[in-house]
């Protein structure tokens, strides 16, 4: 995958990304705003295992953000299952040295369009801790709407936090399911 956006490139991870990914991801300020499954400390071995996994996933759903000197962040989708099979959860992070330059707003906007073009999705959503106004802003500027505040939904770093649910919906593009024509899904 090779998806240019304003300011950078979203691309498939490569084995040579492990050093830069580990360097950028090994940051408590990143860990504080993501799930605990994101390792901290984040080692080269964690990066290698991640690259192995995401480059063998089919379909490929997790990618690197490259600003011209290697992978310095990540963006991806968790495709949902069962009755949520036409939904996906968006996730992303960027090395702290690159924050505040509009990079993730541009990346999320471009990647959201790509995701709707590429996968059979009616809905993409993101979950953001109340302590992360920058990520809330990214989603708002990328066209996501605030759907709700999930009270006391998260336990992170010894604290219970609220979480915001943002989503963008899309008319269904499911030719194999003609009954979707009548689905009550408003374009966002
Ligand atoms: C959240 C994150 C992705 C933002 O990336 P970024 O490239 O710095 O974001 P952008 O520069 O595109 O936009 C950030 C916006 O938040 C705003 N912002 C930043 N800090 C803020 C704060 N403390 N309060 C309010 N707004 C804030 C910026 O002003 C900007 O908004 P603007 O474009 O209207 O001025 C990045 O900080 C990150 O990777 N954090 C750690 C991982 C993470 O939080 N991932 C998402 C989990 S839901």
- CA 64 to the chain's CA centroid: 11
- pTM of the complete model beyond 0.85: yes
- Ligand 1 nearest atom to the CA of residue 132, by list position: 44
For the Cβ of 25 lying below 6 angstroms from any atom of ligand 1, the answer is no
The residue ranking higher by pLDDT, 171 or 68, is 68
The percentage of residues in the chain with a pLDDT greater than 90, rounded to a whole number, is 90
User: Using a 6 Å cutoff on CB, does residue 27 contact ligand 1?
Assistant: no
Q: Give the tokens for residue 22.
A: 């580990």
- Phi and psi dihedrals of 152, rounded to 5? 50, 40
Q: Tell me the CA–centroid distance for residue 59 and ligand 1, in Å.
A: 28
- 135 C-alpha to center of ligand 1: Å? 5
Angle in degrees, CA 131, 133, 136, rounded to 5: 115
- Rounded to an integer, the average pLDDT of 2-31 is 97
Q: Taking the domains of the chain in order of start, what are their residue ranges?
A: 2-121
> With a 6 A CB cut-off, is 174 part of the ligand 1 pocket?
no
User: What confidence category does residue 188 fall into, taking pLDDT thresholds of 50, 70 and 90?
Assistant: very low
Fold of 2-121: Aminopeptidase (3.40.630)
Distance CA 89, CA 100 (A): 23
Indicate if ligand 1 lies below 6 Å from the C-beta of 133.
yes
Atom of ligand 1 nearest to the CA of 105: 12
Q: What is the pLDDT of residue 170?
A: 84
> For the segment 40-58, what is each residue's pLDDT rounded down to a tens digit?
999 999 999 999 999 999 9
Counting ligand 1 atoms within 8 A of each CB, the residue from 134, 164, 165 with the most, and so the one to mutate, is: 134
Q: At what angle do helices 18-25 and 44-56 cross, to 10 degrees?
A: 120
Q: Buried (b) or exposed (e) across 10-28, using 16+ Cβ within 10 A? A: bbebeeebbebbbbbbbbe
The finding on whether 96 has its CB within 6 A of some atom of ligand 1 is no
Which tens digit of pLDDT belongs to each residue from 149-173?
A: 999 999 999 999 999 999 999 876 5
pLDDT of res. 173:
59
Ligand 1, atom 43, lies closest to the CA of 93
Of the candidates 13, 9, 111, 1, the residue with the CA atom closest to the CA atom of residue 53: 13
């Amino acid at each position: 995958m090779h998806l240019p956006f304003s300011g950078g490139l979203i691309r498939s991870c490569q084995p040579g990304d492990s050093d830069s990914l580990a360097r950028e991801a090994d940051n408590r300020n990143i860990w504080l705003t993501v799930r605990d499954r994101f390792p901290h400390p984040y080692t080269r071995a964690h990066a290698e295992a991640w690259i192995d996994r995401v480059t063998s996933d089919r379909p490929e759903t997790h990618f690197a953000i490259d600003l011209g000197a290697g992978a310095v962040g990540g963006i991806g989708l968790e495709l949902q299952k069962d009755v949520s099979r036409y939904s996906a959860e968006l996730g992303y992070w960027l090395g702290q040295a690159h924050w505040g330059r509009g990079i993730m707003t541009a990346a999320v906007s471009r990647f959201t369009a790509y995701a709707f073009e590429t996968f059979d999705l009616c809905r993409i959503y993101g979950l953001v801790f109340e302590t992360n106004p920058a990520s809330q802003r990214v989603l708002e500027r990328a066209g996501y709407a605030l759907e709700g505040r999930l009270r006391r939904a998260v336990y992170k770093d010894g604290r219970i936090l609220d979480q915001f649910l943002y989503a963008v919906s899309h008319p269904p593009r499911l030719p194999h399911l003609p009954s979707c024509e009548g689905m009550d899904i408003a374009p966002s």
